[in-house]
Structure formats: structure tokens, C-alpha cells
Amino acid sequence: ARTNGMWVDSLSNESRLNSLGQEVKLTLSYDSEQIRANGGLTLQPQRKRFHQRYNGETRDTTLRHADFRPMANIRWRAKGMNVRLDYTGYTSQPSAEMLLAFRNTTDPLAIREGNPNLKPTFNNLFGLEWEHERLGLTLRLNYQTALNDFAEEMKLDRKTGARHYKQVNINGNNSLSTNMAWYKQMGLWNLGLDCSMSWRHEVLLNDDATATEVNKSITKMREGEMALHCGFVPKWGDITMGARWQPRFSHNDDTQTRTQNHDFVFNLNAMADLPYNLELSTDASCYLHRGTMTNSDADQWLWNMALAWSFLREKQATVTLSWNDILNRRQSLHRNASATGFSESYNPVIKSYVLLSFSYQLNIKKKENRG
């Protein structure tokens, strides 16, 4: 390849990693009728040697580090209730490309450089769960945070238009999520309710090359979901109905961009056994998307129906006549809006059509040898 009037042998570029490590693990456990507890710490001291040659330059770097993996969980069970508390921590080491101080100028408008001062990331995950068996109710709480998380720093050179990228450490990325699930069976009816909510705090770096300090771009997001399930299972068939609502909100402090989106999904599935080994099934669904940068042209209404006939001695042969997308309303338009960007995608789809199919179940039984 020719770069700035000079020939560069790109085939001579190489990267090599040699790693040597050990693992030391300490575990503790306690078990009784009501309480079960486990804990431990895993220590992994390692030595890594990076060798890389790029455009005639050679780098040899030796890195010594130790990965920590603490964990603990405790479970308490009494009177039909379960309570569980979990903790997990682990170290994430930067890759060789993040550490080696090479300037990758393959793309002159997107220059990437390593950071030998990059620190490892330590992740913490906490979980709490409460379950009541008789009520069919479960509550969950999860929290995750990262210390010295990896982030890509981008600086723009206004004179050349080139963007300079480098991995740096940053703090402030964390998330919290809650969930409530309820399920109950009453005779021929099955009822279920699932509600969840999550909060995320994400930090990015972005500024121009002439600034003395890199600006933090903080995005706060809230996402939720509420799903309702209702099922009826008589002897002659099955009827299931469901509804789902998913609200999403985001706010970026740097650009002062706010978005709010709501997704609504309704569905119905039914199946009935008819005389003469016939089975009639149908399903209908409705998808609505409302909020920032959306309108009703992405709504989707679907209705399908099928009639199946099983025959032969063991009903292993089936002929099915189905009518798909009866309303001719199938869509493949997807929009997504967040505080960091907007996207829209479309793929061609087959709309309303009729399909006749045949299936045969082949059962082969091995004969027993009788001596």
C-alpha cells in the first residue's frame, strides 16, 4: 500500500500475546434447613507480554496484574417464602490494542491511539430476590456499577477534520432494575402480571481537539415494561390473551436532547378441536409505536388463521390450509429514538398469502430381540 508517497508493507504488521498466570481460590459454605450461604474469592495473578509491529515500528510491553473475583450469596427459606441475596465482582482488563501506544493512521480521518496508562475495570453486581410460593409473587432488585470503566474519547481536529480516538477510564456508569412477577392458576384460568423498571446512567466523552478538557456527555435513561397475560384452557381448546406496554425515556445533558417512546402490543391466540380430526387455530396481534420521531405509519395489525386435518391410524399425517396476514397490514418499518441518535430501518416483506402444506410424522420402533 502507498501512504504519503511511501510504500508500506502491511503484511509485515503483526501482534503477539504471551500470557502466564495462576489461580488461587478460597471458598466457604454453610448449609442448614433454613439458610444456605456460599462465598469465595478467586485471585488470578498474571503476566502478559505484548509484541506488536506496525508500519516499521516495534513495541514490547510487559504487564503484570491480578484479577479479583469475589462472590457471595445467601438464601433463606421459611414458611413458603424464599429470600436470596447475591453479590459478584470481577475485573476486566484492557486489551492489547487499548494499551499499546501505536497511532493507527490507516484511515486519516479516524486516527486511533493506544493508552498504556489505562487501568482495569472492576464491576460490581448486587441482586436481591423475594419469592412467595403460595401467592405466586416474586420481587427482584438488581444494581450494577463499574469502577474505572472503559470509554472512547474522541477529539476533533477542526483544521484537518480528523477524529482522534483513544480509550480512557471513566466513572459514573451504573444501572438499577426492579421487577415484580405474579402468576396464578385458578381452575381453567391462568393469570399473570409482569412489571419491570430500569434506570441507567451512561457517561461518554466527546469534544474537539482544541479544548483543554474533554467534555462528559451524560445520558440518563428510564425504561419500563408492563405485561398482562390471561389464558383459558377448556377441554375443547385453548385461548390466550396478552397486552404489553413499554415506555422509554432518555435525556442527554450535553445536547439537551429528550426522547420519550411508548410501545403497545396486544395479542390473541385461540385453538379449537373440531369433529372429524379437524383443528382450527387463529392468532391476531396489534403493534403501536408512539413518541419521538414516530407516527402511525409504523403500526402493524396482523391476523392469521389455519385449518388442519390429521388422518391415518395414528394421525401422523396432517394437511394444513393457512391464510396469513388476512388484513394485508404487515409492516417491516422499525424506528428507534434515543438521546444519542435516531434510526429507521425497512425490509421488504411478504404480505397476505395462502399456504397449503403437508406433514408426516415418521415413527420407527426398534424390534425387541426375543431369545
Q: How far apart are CA 337 and CA 263, in angstroms?
A: 12
At 191 the pLDDT is 95
Q: What rounded mean pLDDT belongs to the chain?
A: 85
Residue type, 54: Y
Residue 328 lies in a domain: yes
Q: What percent of the chain has pLDDT over 70?
A: 89
Identify which of 14, 29, 25 has the alpha carbon closest to the alpha carbon of residue 69: 25
Residue 314 lies in a domain: yes
* pLDDT of 181 higher than 70: yes
Helical residues (DSSP H) of 107-243, grouped into ranges = none
Residue 261 lies in a domain: yes
Domain that holds residue 321: 257-371
Identify which of 116, 119, 126 has the alpha carbon closest to the alpha carbon of residue 150: 119
Residue 356 lies in a domain: yes
Residue 206 CB partners (closer than 8 Å, separation 6+):
153, 154, 214, 215, 217, 254
Give me the mean pLDDT over the 7-15 stretch. 59
Give me the mean pLDDT over the 159-174 stretch. 86
Q: How far apart are CA 127 and CA 72, in angstroms?
A: 11
Give the pLDDT confidence of 335-371 residue by residue, as tens digits.
777 766 777 777 788 889 999 999 998 877 666 665 5
| Contact indicator for 150, 167 with CB cutoff of 8 Å | yes
Q: How far apart are CA 185 and CA 231, in angstroms?
A: 9
Give me the mean pLDDT over the 176-199 stretch. 95
Residue 266 lies in a domain: yes
Give the pLDDT confidence of 247-292 residue by residue, as tens digits.
999 998 877 888 899 999 999 999 999 999 999 999 999 999 888 8
Residue 317 lies in a domain: yes
Residue 264 lies in a domain: yes
Give me the mean pLDDT over the 164-192 stretch. 92
Q: How many domains does the chain have?
A: 1
Instruction: Report helix, strand and coil shares of the chain as percent, to nearest 5.
Output: 5, 70, 30
Q: How far apart are CA 163 and CA 159, in angstroms?
A: 11
Residue 333 lies in a domain: yes
**pTM given for the model:** 0.77
Q: Is 317 helix (H, G, I), strand (E, B) or coil?
A: strand
| Contact indicator for 337, 365 with CB cutoff of 8 Å | no
Residue 223 has which C-alpha cell? 425504561
